Structure 1
Amino acid sequence: MFNELYQKSLTLASHKSAKVFLAIISFVESSFFPIPPDVMIVPMVIAKKNDYLKIFMIATLFSTLGGILGYFIGVYFLDFGMSVVGFYGYEEKVLSLKNDLTSGTGFYIWLATLFLAGFTPLPFKVFTITSGMIDFNLFIFLLICLFSRGLRFFIISFLSFKLGDTFNAFMKTKAAMWSTIIGIIIVLIFLVIYFVTK
């Protein structure tokens, strides 16, 4: 099923209404859909290089809006939310998370986790739904979604624009590892700045 959805997403990237489909996939991926928008972004930018900023903005905006939907699924549709979380095997972690957030550092741990989920290949929808379940601050949630998703999609769009098929080949083999490493480095930099200026 996953491979079939992946191939359909790739096919939509070459459709005349590709930007509309990118908006839809970016939206639903942040709340329940398993295929990330990156699958469409790379071939779309390679096909229409001058549109790379527009493609990045569409993906960022609709992914953030989808994140808000995920948040409210966590608030109002707990059973459905838990079924999505359970699909990815995170149910035990979610159930124990609320207790962790009562500690002083729990808030900052979730902040870093949410950023990493938005920037790396972690299933972002699990963390948008969980944010609603644990009643995480909605305004801060929105800012983290915009920042993490925007940074990720800008890097992907820009490198697709600059490197074309070379970057496409890289995305298919090593993107997950490098995005995780970069995401962790960014979080560590913010933590160092926070503790130095505290």
Structure 2
Amino acid sequence: MDSAAEDQPGSSATQDAPEVPMLPDVLVRRGPARRLYDWMLHWAHTPYGTPALVLLSFAESSFFPIPPDVLQIALSMSRPRRAFFYATVSTLASVAGALLGWAIGYLFWEAIGGFFYKYVPGCTPENFQLVGQRYHDNAMLAIIGAAFTPIPFKVFTIAAGMFHQYVSLGTLLLASLVGRSARFFLVATFVYLFGERARELIERYFALLTFALFALLVAGFLAVKWLL
């Protein structure tokens, strides 16, 4: 009798057994880019998704090479009605990170500039000189363009500190706010309007989108040298 009761679907043993969340097995079989995408989606179902978005957006504006758009998209697709909340989080954290980039260029460059030249993509003496010339011409437009496009934003925030005679903090903050909000709210609008359809499109054309994003990232680095 006892053993039969234990086997019933409604038994307390079955009801009390906790469900352990596990990542799907496809994470083991898929390529690195797809695993990264699935891992980002996994963050969307944890209590740490929003803090991770804050940290990634902040760091990308000052020293980190990976843009926050992927995590923003993953979080927004999991909760489309909060897409504009995540866009706001990305924008504010990114603008705050721009302040750190400015401080690095203005206060700490002599001490840590060598590290950036060696390890941070896009940070070269030639690129900083090119950005400095652009700031001399029109700092507001230069920052807005870098904040909105795949051009490495950190190069511009650090250069704003290095060439502070051309870029006031007010200009940096306002231009960063305009460019970053335009970028992140465009992403939010896409996810909000298409919802699950957006996820289906990403799932179906993932390989093509991965190639396109990589091409845009490379184009952004090249643009620092050839388009400025």
Report the TM-score range of the alignment, normalised by the length of the smaller protein.
0.7 to 0.9
- Aligned match for 1:88, one of 121, 145, 169: 121
Deviations 1:104-142 (A, max 9, x none): x8331x332211211011111111111111102110110
- Shift of residue 14 of structure 1? 3.3
Q: Is the 8 A contact 1:25 1:37 kept in 2?
A: yes
- Aligned match for 2:56, one of 1, 25, 32: 25
Deviates more, 1:86-95 or 1:66-75: 86-95
Q: Which runs of 5+ in 1 are unaligned?
A: 181-198
- Aligned match for 1:143, one of 151, 167, 174: 174
CA–CA distance in 1 between the matches of 2:156 and 2:74? 27
CA–CA distance in 1 between the matches of 2:105 and 2:184? 25
Corresponding position: 1:163 with 2:197: no
- Aligned match for 2:152, one of 123, 137, 147: 123
Question: 1:64 — aligned with what?
Answer: 95
CA change 1:31–1:43 in 2 (3 A) is same
Deviations 1:6-59 (A, max 9, x none): 566554333222111111111111111111110111111111011112111111
Q: Tell me, what secondary structure is at the counterpart of 2:63?
A: coil
CA change 1:14–1:115 in 2 (3 A) is same
Question: 1:45 — aligned with what?
Answer: 76
- Shift of residue 88 of structure 1? 2.2
Question: 1:184 — aligned with what?
Answer: none
CA change 1:9–1:32 in 2 (3 A) is farther
Q: In terms of Rg, which structure is larger? A: 2
Deviations 1:45-98 (A, max 9, x none): 111011112111111111100111111111111043453355324421313554
Q: TM-score, normalised by structure 1?
A: 0.74
Q: Which runs of 5+ in 2 are unaligned?
A: 1-31, 220-228
Q: Tell me, what secondary structure is at the counterpart of 1:15?
A: coil
- Aligned match for 1:106, one of 136, 153, 160: 136
Deviations 1:135-182 (A, max 9, x none): 0211011000101001100000110121235545275454675xx9xx
Q: Tell me, what secondary structure is at the counterpart of 2:67?
A: coil
CA–CA distance in 1 between the matches of 2:64 and 2:123? 16
Q: TM-score, normalised by structure 2?
A: 0.65
CA change 1:96–1:121 in 2 (3 A) is closer
Size of the alignment, in residue pairs?
172
Q: Is the 8 A contact 1:23 1:59 kept in 2?
A: yes
